[in-house]
Structure 1
Amino acid sequence: MRRRQQPYKINSLARSKGQAMIEYVIITGVLVAALLTGLQDDDAGYAENEGYIGLSKNDDGSLLQALHRRYTAQAYALSLPEPPEVNSLDKLSAYYDRLGKFPELSNNLYEASVLMNKLTNNLKKVNDGIDRLEDYADSNKAIDKAKQLIDPDRIKDKIQDELEDQLKDQIKII
């Protein structure tokens, strides 16, 4: 004896999932249509700092124009060749100068190189000044320096040398 198969019943949960998808599609479509059609008028009355979607990439202040500009800038950046690995901006500037593609970049790199060299030299001077200050910060080092400058034997020898030179000059005159 065969059992009779019951007809396949569609689960109400599965039916509601399909219905929700249709609702989402309809609501999204209505919102997109409202944004595109409602904001294309010149008399829309929006403030200048408020943007709109726009229908063309040439509409000033539109979202499409902003996306187009962003894409164009990104595509340009990706089209640039990879810079060589060099240790100085001078060499990088010379590379772009020889390349001849980006003359403004070469000039900017050279100017940056000059500024970096000036900064490096100034930092070296500051470092030297700090080193000299450190010599005087330690009281024992400062006393040793002062003793070297005011060494009585050295001063005595210097005075004696000057007196001998003056005496020789006087003898030559006589």
Structure 2
Amino acid sequence: MDHSVDETTPPGRTLRAGLHHLAVETADLDNCVAWYTDFFGGTAAWTLDTFSDLTRSRLPGIVRLTEVVAAGTRFHLFTRATAYTRPQPDVLQFQHVCMTAASAGELRQWRDRWQRLSASGRYVFARTEAPTEIVVDADGVSSFYAYDVNGLEYEFTHIPAAAQGR
């Protein structure tokens, strides 16, 4: 592995990367788009059903993709053809994604929103577990975990100013 320094980056500076979008595969795109727009309070910005050769090679069987813009994040929600066979379970995946809340009160609102939407009966969930309780660590950082309609785990956290930088 090459660990050499990139000569185009000025000395003392590191490259930074920002998050453009989070891609989420789903078996039911309409259910997923509805849940992400309702839960995160966003809008479906656009939908594609034709893809480049590169996209089709990276995501075999992709049929449709919708971008939902919400909570300062872009979610690329996509579905594949029913003939597509998923990789074996030993393929590594993200364990969870962590979203930040501006305050402890906002964190409680995220958890309450999840519970209201779950109780509404409008969505089909792959995992029916309720969100965890909100826990607060010794530094005052509070968080809870919940699953989206696909069974993907999200952490929601609030980090008070006194604990920033850890």
Q: Which has the larger radius of gyration?
A: 1
Q: TM-score, normalised by structure 2?
A: 0.20
Q: TM-score, normalised by structure 1?
A: 0.20
